[in-house]
Amino acid sequence: MKRFLSETTIGNIVLGFMFIAVLFIVTLPLHAEESETEEQAIEQPEEPEIEMVLLTEDDYEQIRCMAVNSYFEARSEPRQGIIAVHNVVLNRVADSRFPNTPCGVIYQRNRRGCQFSWYCDGASDHPRNRERYNELFKLAEEVYTGIHDDVTDGAQFYHATYVRPYWRHSMEKKTRIGLHVFYEG
């Protein structure tokens, strides 16, 4: 003998299943969050505090100078090489023999011309590749605000590997990164 359920009975059964499914779905995220929080508290190390750095207009001008300098000195270098060029600028800022701002260091002249050759080479000093310049600006900002350590071990000078400046033997070689050799002197 076959039994047939009425449409009302089938509807009530479906509604019952839907109610149970909704309850399950609604409470599932609550339990998942609790277990994630417990796991994070046990397994995850504490994240370091992030110190907020408020930059002034002058800070952004200094960062702009660093970005332009890295564009002309190291734009095709690996990331560490670009950071190293920024480190040299900041190491000079910290040295009393040099101006006390990145822009001052970068645009400083010496008896032979300029500290950084691109500034006195007669070519345009305006970056042509805006996208690359923007990347370099962001990296300059990170170095300026202390996000990256000094990869040059205190170097204040560098030169490309394809030149042999007269002064290289009178300084302590620190490292080579990409196509640049870095010195302290």
The DSSP annotation for 100-118 comes to: SSHHHHHT-EETTEESSGG
* pLDDT tens-digit readout, 128-163: 999 999 999 999 999 999 999 999 999 999 999 999
> Which of the four pLDDT bands, split at 50, 70 and 90, describes residue 44?
low
* pLDDT tens-digit readout, 64-80: 999 999 999 999 999 99
Residue 52 in domain? no
d(C-alpha 155, C-alpha 91), whole Å: 7
Instruction: Please indicate, yes or no, whether residues 89 and 2 belong to a single structural domain of this protein.
Output: no
Instruction: Please indicate, yes or no, whether residues 97 and 172 belong to a single structural domain of this protein.
Output: yes
Instruction: Please indicate, yes or no, whether residues 89 and 174 belong to a single structural domain of this protein.
Output: yes
Structure tokens at 59: 């800070």
Instruction: Please indicate, yes or no, whether residues 1 and 61 belong to a single structural domain of this protein.
Output: no
Residue 102 pLDDT exceeds 60: yes
Residue 65: name the closest of 105, 98, 103, 92 by CA. Answer: 103
> Which of the four pLDDT bands, split at 50, 70 and 90, describes residue 121?
confident
Residue 86 in domain? yes
**Number of structural domains found in the chain:** 2
Residue 65 in domain? yes
> Which of the four pLDDT bands, split at 50, 70 and 90, describes residue 32?
very low
pLDDT (average), residues 48-61: 84
End-to-end CA distance of the chain: 103
Quote the pTM value.
0.71
Instruction: Please indicate, yes or no, whether residues 65 and 154 belong to a single structural domain of this protein.
Output: yes
> Which of the four pLDDT bands, split at 50, 70 and 90, describes residue 112?
confident
Instruction: Please indicate, yes or no, whether residues 139 and 165 belong to a single structural domain of this protein.
Output: yes
Instruction: Please indicate, yes or no, whether residues 24 and 80 belong to a single structural domain of this protein.
Output: no
d(C-alpha 68, C-alpha 105), whole Å: 13
Residue 132 in domain? yes
- R_g of the chain, CA atoms, integer Å: 30
Residue 122 pLDDT exceeds 90: no
Instruction: Please indicate, yes or no, whether residues 172 and 89 belong to a single structural domain of this protein.
Output: yes
The pLDDT, as a whole number, for residue 16 is 54
Residue 85 in domain? yes
How large a percentage of the chain has pLDDT more than 90? 61
Identify the domain containing residue 38 by its residue range.
1-47
Instruction: Please indicate, yes or no, whether residues 138 and 166 belong to a single structural domain of this protein.
Output: yes
Instruction: Please indicate, yes or no, whether residues 90 and 34 belong to a single structural domain of this protein.
Output: no
Instruction: Please indicate, yes or no, whether residues 27 and 100 belong to a single structural domain of this protein.
Output: no
- Taking a C-beta distance cutoff of 8 angstroms, is the pair 35, 91 a contact? no
Residue 124 in domain? yes
